Amino acid sequence: MMDVEARRQKHVRWRIFVLCSCFMVLPVLVMRAAYDLQVTRAAKLKAQAEGQAMRKVAMTPQRGAIYDRDGAELAVSVDADSIWANPRQLRKSSDLDMKKVAKDLAKLLEIEEAPLLARLNSDRYFVWIKRRASAAESKAVQALKLPGLSISKEARRFYPNRELAAHVLGYADVDGRGLAGVELSMDEKLRGSRSSMPVVHDGRGRVIYSDHMLDDLATQGHEITLTVDKTLQYFAERELELAVRTAEAHAGSVVIVDPARGEILALANYPTFNLNDARKATDAEKRDRAVTERFEPGSTVKPFTMAGALAAGVVNPGDSIDCREGSLIVDGRAIHDAHHFDRLSPAEIISRSSNIGISKIGAALGRDRLHRVLSSFGFGVTPGSGLPGEVAGSLRPYQRWYAMDAATIPFGQGMSTTTLQLAMSMSAIANHGRLMDPILIKRVVDARGQTVEEPMPRVRQQVVPERVARLVTDMMVGVTGEGGTGTEAAVDGYLVAGKTGTAQKSDPAHGGYSKEKWVSSFVGFAPANKPRLTIAVVLDEPMIAHQGGAVAAPAFRRIMEASLRHLGVPADHGQSGSDAIALARGTQTHRPDKDARPLWPLDDSAMPPSPRPVTLAAGEVLVPNLIGRPARAALVQARQQRFDVALTGSGVVSAQKPLPGSVAQRGAVLTLQLASPTPELPVPPLASDFAQLNPELSPPPPAAGALPIPQPSAATAPVRRGQDG
Amino acid sequence: MKGRFLQIWTIAVIAMTAAYGVHLFLLSQNAHMSYQLADLKLKEERLKAQRNLLALEAATLRQVDRVEAIARGSFGMEVPSPSRVIMMGNEPQARISGRAR
């Protein structure tokens, strides 16, 4: 009995031991297996799991919006429905007649039936039916409930203001690629980056949120704020259209600039087009004339010639210049004034737009200095707005000027410019003689709101001293005053400085200049004493009248009036243009300071006296003028023209060898002497300063009314005539 | 001695089971919240798209020519002459920017 009990107890103990052993060993095994899964084979298993649970979703970045300077939307992207089909799946439904399907869809979506039927009959798994369809079209297609027909979301570009700033904004194609304007020039930043994002999903295909999804902002396109003011842009476009239609002109353009900052506030062209329907626009409508179309500026160049002459000291406000009763013979051909003048002061030459007077002043200034001052004001140089297709205008090297060119370039014939360039140059006078770089992009912000780029106003060059700029401003105020050629540009309550321009267009068919085709312009700024806006108005081939003062000046007035009111610029009551011309005459005692430094840091004594046009042989190039340019820009330009460059010093280019305008062999060494930029405004040089530098080139003492110009004896033949008034 | 060992063992097993249960609960909560987040993300994208549409609509309604047409046509407003405008506050200062390099 005892044995049985003892055996039973022994058996129980054994079973307890086995059970406990199991309880102890099993967790060890489980932990061993867990260790194997979590540590030893973790990486491999994780990769396998991710392969099953993760899929990559293509991220289509939203194209960045474009805003005006006050944050008003100019271009935005919104999701639109794109309709696509799987033709194989569509054909599986035996009861479907493909011809009928194509006909129905073509009718609903307003697309061509034949190409659609061809696409539906193809062997592909995916064909687009219509991209960026309207909401109504999308709804109608969904109502058809056709198998194999699907709708997905795609971003579509909209321009809520239609034609407004069409040429500045440009447009993007159906795939979101910029094709013109800022859409093209800033395409890389607007577009964002295409990428794919790993997404975790469960067995039912539902997306499970993961940390990767946080990063989608990095791929989005940047948002761009322009310097353009929507309201000013509207004024410019409205008045330009009115002016073009009234004058029955071929086309026109307007540019508004903030002269102190160089910001482009408006840039308008006519004819224009609706950005939301850019495909239907003609090439003529799409052309950004303000930056891509060159024209001879005519008399609008006179203030720049005058500024150069005043800065060089070759003319003084008190001088009286013989205007030869309205006719001057140069190189056997005649230059005319619109009216016959006997003697005029420099202020009257500007206000009455005397070609002969300014031609004489240009001759006294000399070809090299005239070329230099016009180049410094930006003529013949690309403005640098960043807009696609921007051109520089043309200002040939002075060595290649003929006698007639030297006589007509002072009043803007024989050279060309663009509306933007003209506005920027005039802004230099308004901005105390400082030429600014044009700014169109105010700010670039990424999708997280961080500022990526914010261009600051930058002075390109101090072209003329502040005092000279003020003097020329006073003279230009006379243009809009009594007896001036631009009285139509005068704005009630404000002092307006400006200049009319009327230039004949070249006649490629018959050579020379056309007697029927003109470019009429007005460029100016206001208020003249504290300039807030510079406006350039250019009308191409006006028919009703051709004088800049008659067709462009009224448009200028209306735009300036509305813009000043919009900006809240207080009126300057009590002063008019005629008051200002008297003011300008009152400065007749102006003389450059004795201790003045030369305006341009050039060694004039070394200038090659080459008045004849240069003919270049093979392998020869003209040496560019790099004086005053920063080292990097000078280096780039010299390299582009195949020069080997040797730099000495630091700062901006103060001297160069070979000299500007001379002829050199391609690949020759161009030595550039750099010096620290002048921090303070230079003061006007004396005629005697130039005389000290170069007795040969310095002008003779300017006796009143006796500014010299070559006087050929050939018979008169009327040619170029820049009229005004 | 034996009873105490069994007690401790039982407690350990229960604790492990509870810990595992908590782990499972947290996993399920995580999955649930991930679904919620994914839904919210989708909703956010829809709202953004809707906001863009509304911004587009607002920008269209704010077209300068439309506002001008309504102001002139519907409300009979007109642009005041300069003599009727009195500027309040300080006169905006002319800005001279930059220095010659």
Which contacts qualify for A170-178: CB closer than 8 Å, 24 or more apart? A170/A388, A171/A275, A171/A278, A172/A63, A174/A131, A174/A132, A176/A63, A176/A77
**Any idea which of A15-29, A205-219, A443-457, A618-632 has the lowest mean pLDDT?**
A205-219
The answer to whether A23 faces chain B, any CB pair under 8 Å, is: yes
Q: Apex CA A481: angle with CA A480 and CA A484, to 5°?
A: 70
Q: Band of the pLDDT at B89, cuts 50, 70, 90?
A: low
Mean pLDDT of chain B: 82
pTM of the predicted model over 0.95: no
- Flag whether pLDDT at B94 surpasses 50: no
Report the percent of chain A where pLDDT is more than 90. Answer: 43
Closest by CA to A535, choosing from A221, A232, A161, is: A232
The b/e string for B68-82 (b: 16+ C-beta within 10 A; e otherwise) is eeeeeeeeeeeeeeb
**B59·A568 Cβ contact <8 A:** no
Is residue A523 classed as helix, strand or coil in its secondary structure? Answer: strand
Report the percent of chain A where pLDDT is more than 70. Answer: 84
Residue type for position A163: E
**B97·A261 Cβ contact <8 A:** yes
What mean pLDDT comes out for the span A63-71? Answer: 92
Phi/psi of residue A239, nearest 5 degrees: -75, -30
Closest by CA to A366, choosing from A721, A696, A720, A705, is: A696
DSSP class of A328: E
CB of A720 closer than 8 Å to CB of A335:
yes
Q: Which residues of B touch A431 (CB under 8 A)?
A: 96-97
**pLDDT of A260-318, one tens digit each?**
999 999 999 999 999 998 989 999 999 999 999 999 999 999 999 999 999 999 999 88
Most confident range, picked from A107-121, A461-475, B80-94: A461-475
- Rounded Cα gap, residues A67 and A190, in angstroms: 12
- In this prediction, residue A222 carries a pLDDT of 93
| DSSP run (H or E) holding B35 | helix B2-61
CB of A451 closer than 8 Å to CB of A468:
no
**B87·A568 Cβ contact <8 A:** yes
Structure-token match 């000399």, residue found: A366
- In this prediction, residue A149 carries a pLDDT of 85
- In this prediction, residue A454 carries a pLDDT of 93
Closest chain B C-alpha to A461 CA, distance in angstroms: 6
Task: Enter the tokens of residue A263.
Answer: 């910001």
- Flag whether pLDDT at A652 surpasses 80: no
Q: Which residues of A touch B100 (CB under 8 A)?
A: 434, 459, 461-462, 677-681
Q: Band of the pLDDT at A479, cuts 50, 70, 90?
A: very high
Phi/psi of residue A504, nearest 5 degrees: -70, 145
Is residue A362 classed as helix, strand or coil in its secondary structure? Answer: helix
Prior bond of A685 cis (ω within 30°): no
The answer to whether A681 faces chain B, any CB pair under 8 Å, is: yes
- Rounded Cα gap, residues B1 and A159, in angstroms: 86
Which contacts qualify for A571-576: CB closer than 8 Å, 24 or more apart? A571/A492, A571/A493, A571/A494, A571/B82, A571/B85, A572/A493, A572/A494, A572/A495, A572/A527, A572/A529, A573/A493, A575/A495, A576/A481, A576/A482, A576/A490, A576/A495
Q: Which residues of B touch A432 (CB under 8 A)?
A: 96
Most confident range, picked from A99-103, A272-276, A667-671, B48-52: A272-276
Indicate which of A59, A78, A632 best probes the interface with B, i.e. most B CBs within 10 Å of its own CB. A78
Of B9, B60, B64, the CB nearest to A23: B9
What mean pLDDT comes out for the span B84-97? Answer: 56
**What was the ipTM of the complex prediction?**
0.73
**Any idea which of A210-214, A237-241, A380-384, A568-572 has the lowest mean pLDDT?**
A210-214
The answer to whether B91 faces chain A, any CB pair under 8 Å, is: yes
The answer to whether B65 faces chain A, any CB pair under 8 Å, is: yes
Task: Enter the tokens of residue A61.
Answer: 């970045």
- Flag whether pLDDT at A181 surpasses 50: yes
Write the secondary structure of A613-624 as one string of H (helix), E (strand) and C (coil).
CCCCCCCEEECC
- Flag whether pLDDT at A703 surpasses 60: no
What mean pLDDT comes out for the span A387-404? Answer: 92
Of A208, A571, A677, the CB nearest to B31: A208
- In this prediction, residue A599 carries a pLDDT of 35
The answer to whether A679 faces chain B, any CB pair under 8 Å, is: yes
**A459·B97 Cβ contact <8 A:** yes
| DSSP run (H or E) holding A131 | strand A127-133
Indicate which of A31, A207, A558 best probes the interface with B, i.e. most B CBs within 10 Å of its own CB. A207
CA distances from A663 to A608, A643, A645, A670 (A): 10, 12, 16, 12
- Flag whether pLDDT at A708 surpasses 50: no
Helix A230-247 crosses helix B64-73 at what angle (to 10 degrees)?
Answer: 80
**pLDDT of B17-53, one tens digit each?**
999 999 999 989 988 888 888 888 889 888 988 888 8
- Rounded Cα gap, residues A353 and A358, in angstroms: 8
- In this prediction, residue A2 carries a pLDDT of 60
Residue type for position B11: I
Residue A538, CA atoms < 13 Å, CB-side half-sphere: 31
The answer to whether B63 faces chain A, any CB pair under 8 Å, is: yes
**pLDDT of A337-367, one tens digit each?**
888 888 899 999 999 999 999 999 999 999 9
Of B9, B64, B79, the CB nearest to A234: B64
Q: Band of the pLDDT at A201, cuts 50, 70, 90?
A: confident
Mean pLDDT of chain A: 81
- Which residue spans within A468-541 are E strands per DSSP? 497-506, 513-526, 533-540
A-B contacts (CB, under 8 Å): 115
**A261·B95 Cβ contact <8 A:** yes
- In this prediction, residue A493 carries a pLDDT of 84
The answer to whether B94 faces chain A, any CB pair under 8 Å, is: yes
- Flag whether pLDDT at A183 surpasses 50: yes
- Rounded Cα gap, residues A178 and A222, in angstroms: 14
Prior bond of A271 cis (ω within 30°): yes
**pLDDT of A560-594, one tens digit each?**
999 998 898 887 754 444 444 444 444 333 333 33
**B49·A79 Cβ contact <8 A:** yes
- Residue A152 bears catalytic tag: no
Q: Which residues of A touch B33 (CB under 8 A)?
A: 209
**pLDDT of A141-167, one tens digit each?**
888 888 888 888 888 889 999 999 999
A715 contacts: CB under 8 Å, gap ≥ 6: A332
A677 contacts: CB under 8 Å, gap ≥ 6: A651, A652, B100, B101
Q: Would you state the torsion angle of the CA atoms of residues A410, A413, A418, A422, taken in this order, to the nearest 10 degrees?
A: 30
The answer to whether B52 faces chain A, any CB pair under 8 Å, is: yes
Of B36, B41, B98, the CB nearest to A434: B98
The answer to whether A504 faces chain B, any CB pair under 8 Å, is: no
Q: Would you state the torsion angle of the CA atoms of residues B82, B83, B87, B88, taken in this order, to the nearest 10 degrees?
A: -150
Rounded to a whole number of angstroms, the CA Rg of chain A reads 36
State the catalytic residue, choosing from A77, A185, A253, A299.
Answer: A299
Q: Identify any residues that bridge with A223 across adjacent strands, giving them in sequence order.
A: A445
What mean pLDDT comes out for the span B75-92? Answer: 73
**B63·A162 Cβ contact <8 A:** yes
The answer to whether B90 faces chain A, any CB pair under 8 Å, is: no
Q: Band of the pLDDT at B75, cuts 50, 70, 90?
A: very high
- In this prediction, residue B41 carries a pLDDT of 83
- In this prediction, residue B82 carries a pLDDT of 67
**A73·B82 Cβ contact <8 A:** no
- In this prediction, residue A385 carries a pLDDT of 92
- In this prediction, residue A598 carries a pLDDT of 36
The answer to whether A354 faces chain B, any CB pair under 8 Å, is: no
CA distance between the termini of chain A = 143
The answer to whether B69 faces chain A, any CB pair under 8 Å, is: no
**Any idea which of A49-53, A103-107, A159-163 has the lowest mean pLDDT?**
A49-53
Sign of CA dihedral A20, A21, A22, A26: positive
A137 contacts: CB under 8 Å, gap ≥ 6: A81, A83, A108, A109, A130
Q: Apex CA A622: angle with CA A618 and CA A625, to 5°?
A: 165
Of B34, B49, B92, the CB nearest to A209: B34
- Flag whether pLDDT at A402 surpasses 60: yes
The b/e string for A593-630 (b: 16+ C-beta within 10 A; e otherwise) is eeebebbbbbbbeebeebeeebeeeeeeebbbbbbbbb
Of A76, A161, A209, the CB nearest to B38: A209
**pLDDT of A316-330, one tens digit each?**
988 888 887 777 888
Q: Which residues of B touch A462 (CB under 8 A)?
A: 100
Closest by CA to A556, choosing from A242, A104, A130, is: A242
A191 contacts: CB under 8 Å, gap ≥ 6: A61, A63, A64, A176, A177, A178, A221
**pLDDT of A584-628, one tens digit each?**
444 333 333 333 333 333 333 333 333 344 455 667 777 887 877
Q: Apex CA A420: angle with CA A414 and CA A423, to 5°?
A: 85
**B64·A459 Cβ contact <8 A:** no
The answer to whether A158 faces chain B, any CB pair under 8 Å, is: yes
Task: Enter the tokens of residue A412.
Answer: 């803007």
Closest by CA to A253, choosing from A540, A36, A3, A463, is: A540
- In this prediction, residue A213 carries a pLDDT of 62
- In this prediction, residue A327 carries a pLDDT of 77
